[in-house]
Structures are given as structure tokens and as C-alpha cells.
Structure 1
Amino acid sequence: MTASEKSRQLVRLAAEAAAEKLADDIIAYDVSEQLVITDAFVLCSASNDRQVRAIVDEIEERLRIEAHAKPVRREGEREGRWVLLDFLDIVVHVQHEEDRTFYALERLWKDCPVIALPDSVTQVRAQRARGTAGE
């Protein structure tokens, strides 16, 4: 079994929202074979607590407006270092880059298939790597 079309749509929207707020290292995994509680994980990071919150807010707003989806659970908001948004079909992890490095969730899910993200997300990543984002 693979992630549903609805899950893939939510992944796309979440990734685009995160990219819009300049999240780093956006990646999505299809975890439907390993977990029964969700289809996909979206991981991204930010360099400071304020940016973590801005990314979380943008993801929540975009999914609410475009997919009529609201998180059933939101954890870690107070600290602003690692916020988890549980939309049932997908779970989004927005981490401070230090926490992302320390916890290395990618290592835990490395055997899961990566979900391809839209060009708009991957282009922002490439532009930032070249130092040309926003030009």
C-alpha cells in the first residue's frame, strides 16, 4: 500500500507552504507501509524559533484554506524548536536546525520511499544553495 492521493496532495501543499517561508531541507516520506496511523511524514527545518513558528502557521493556513484540513494535534509550539502537526493523513515535523541534526529523523525513515516534491519546492532549495533565492 502506498500513500493515498489525498495524502500526497497534503504533502505537496505543506511542502509548498514551508518553502514559501524559506524552510530548509524539505523532504517527505511515504510511511504507509510502516505505520497504520498516517501515510506520510513531511520534515523541514529552520534556523531560528521565530521561523519555525512562521513555517508552522503557513502550513496550517494553506492546508486549512486549500484542502479544508485542520490538524487534530499540534505539539511543541510553546518551545518553538520542534513543532509537530498531525493532520491524520500526514504528520508534519518543523524543527529548529539544531534539533533536526540531533534527532536525525531521516535516519529513522531512510528505508521508506521518498515522495517527490513539486518543482516549486525543489527550485527554492536549489536557488538557496546557489545564493540566488528571492532574486
Structure 2
Amino acid sequence: MTATDRAVELTRVAAAAADEKLATEIIAFDVSEQLFITDVFLLCSAANQPQARAIKDAVEEKLLEQGAKPVRREGDREGRWILLDFTDVVVHVQHTEERAFYALERLWSDCPTIDLELA
């Protein structure tokens, strides 16, 4: 089983929105064979809390335009690790320090990555 076309499409829209807000280290993993709760984890980094919130806002706005609403949102107040759950796609916006400490890439490194088609 692989991520659905809809999940990949939403992932690319979310990645583009994050990229527009200058997110770094943007990567997506197809976790559909490992988890039953979602198809894709999208990870990106922000240099500071205001940038993390701006990335979150941009991702939400663009995915709402695609008809996807977040079913869960965590970490918005602190802005160090914001999680947006759109069911098919879970977006992690992490402060660079949290990204280095938790190293989610290592955890999901056995999962295939998704071509985000970013310039």
C-alpha cells in the first residue's frame, strides 16, 4: 500500500506553502505501510516561533482551499513543534532545535520519501 494520490497532492500543496514562508529541510515520508492513521508525514523546520506560526497559517490556508480541514492541531501556542493533522497528511512544523533533538527523519528513514516538486 502506498500513499493515496489525494494525500500526495495535499502534501505537495502543504510543502509549497511552507516553502513560500521559507521553511527549511522540507521532507515528506510515505508512512502508509507503517501507520493506519495517516498516509504521509511532512516535516519542515522554522528558525523561530513567529516563522513556525506563519508556516502553520500558510499550510492551513492552502489546504483549506483544497477542501482539507485539520482534524487536530497541537503546539500552536508554544510554536516550537506544531502538528497539523489533516487525516491523510500530518504536518510537523518544528523549530530547528526540536528538529535536531527529536530527529524524526531517523525514525521514519525506512519509509519512502515523496517527491515534493519544489523548485
| TM-score grouping bracket, smaller chain normalisation | over 0.9
Partners of 2:50 and 2:77 in 1: how far apart?
A: 11
Q: Which residue of 1 aligns with 2:23?
A: 23
The structure whose Rg is larger is 1
Counterpart mapping for 1:1-135 below 5 A: 1-65=1-65, 67-118=66-117, 121=118, 123=119
Partners of 1:92 and 1:4 in 2: how far apart?
A: 16
- State the percentage of identical aligned residues: 66
Partners of 1:11 and 1:2 in 2: how far apart?
A: 14
Q: Which runs of 5+ in 1 are unaligned?
A: 124-135
RMSD between superposed Cα atoms in Å: 0.5
Partners of 2:46 and 2:24 in 1: how far apart?
A: 6
Partners of 1:60 and 1:117 in 2: how far apart?
A: 17
* Counterpart secondary structure, 1:32: coil
Partners of 2:77 and 2:20 in 1: how far apart?
A: 23
Runs of 4+ aligned structure 1 residues displaced above 3 Å come to: none
The TM-score, its normalising length taken from structure 1, stands at: 0.87
Which string of whole-angstrom CA distances, capped at 9 and with x for unpartnered residues, describes residues 6-53 of structure 1?
000010000000000000000000000000000000000010000000
The TM-score, its normalising length taken from structure 2, stands at: 0.99
